[in-house]
Amino acid sequence: MAKQPKRIQAWTGDRQAAHAVEAAVKLVKANATAKFDESIEIAVNLGVDPRHADQQVRGVVSLPSGTGRDVRVAVIAKDAKAAEATAAGADIVGAEELVERIQGGFMEFDRVIATPDMMALVGRLGKVLGPRGLMPNPRVGTVTPNVAQAVKDAKGGAIEFRTEKTGIIHAGIGKASFTEDAILANVRALVDALNKAKPSGAKGTYIKKISLSSTMGPGFKIDAGSLGV
């Protein structure tokens, strides 16, 4: 049997038990020992079947402690709305020419925001942005006339979430350099948002499992009861 790397041998904590959220955060931070600032990631297994329209979970949440990463925002707008987006700090702003660039393979952004009047143009990008989860959608606030606020939210820590085919939500909620309280605040904000987004078709236990990990570290299970769910 191959010998485990020293990094893995050095991991501490019980990875089988379900921990109170405070303990899980402490363990994840203690095991984030890489030479870079690891991302903190959460996985929430929901009791839903996303293949059914009334069991899809999707939304946006503003993380109180931010994400710890620089979010590159592209805005598809023109005239006064384009100027508002630029003033708010958008990284890339354009209309027809930006749509053409994206169709040509330009993907140097993490979030796409569009004004409602641009949706006829944006519709051309469905096959490009859709599979990457970047297609603007009014349900998550990325199709809006208030582009300035949307840009500020994206830059300030707003993240989108949606269920994968297996009913799991994955999200980055901070960095290992964050304080425990900052990570806790983000975990609670996301779980609260998921509770509020519970679909009408969800039956039985809604939030089934929660785990927290860092980029290079092990995952630790969270006792959902410690989050009031």
Q: What is the pLDDT of residues 154-192, one digit of tens each?
A: 998 889 899 999 999 999 999 999 999 999 999 999 999
Residue 7 has pLDDT above 80, yes or no: no
Residue 224 has pLDDT above 70, yes or no: yes
Confidence of residue 10 (pLDDT cuts 50, 70, 90): confident
Residue 22 has pLDDT above 90, yes or no: yes
- Residue 143 DSSP symbol: B
Q: What is the pLDDT of residues 89-100, one digit of tens each?
A: 999 999 999 999
Q: How far does Cα 152 stand from its chain's mean position?
A: 16
For 217, the token pair is: 């570290």
* Rounded Cα gap, residues 9 and 145, in angstroms: 52
End-to-end Cα separation, the chain, in angstroms: 41
What percent of the chain is predicted at pLDDT more than 90? 81
Residue 1 has pLDDT above 60, yes or no: no
The structure's pTM equals 0.82
Q: What is the pLDDT of residues 53-83, one digit of tens each?
A: 899 998 999 999 999 988 999 999 999 999 9
Give me the pLDDT at residue 9, please: 74
Residue whose C-alpha is closest to residue 183's, from 25, 39, 28: 25
* Rounded Cα gap, residues 177 and 228, in angstroms: 26
Alpha helices in the chain (DSSP H): 6-9, 21-31, 79-88, 96-103, 119-122, 126-129, 147-156, 180-196
Give me the pLDDT at residue 6, please: 73
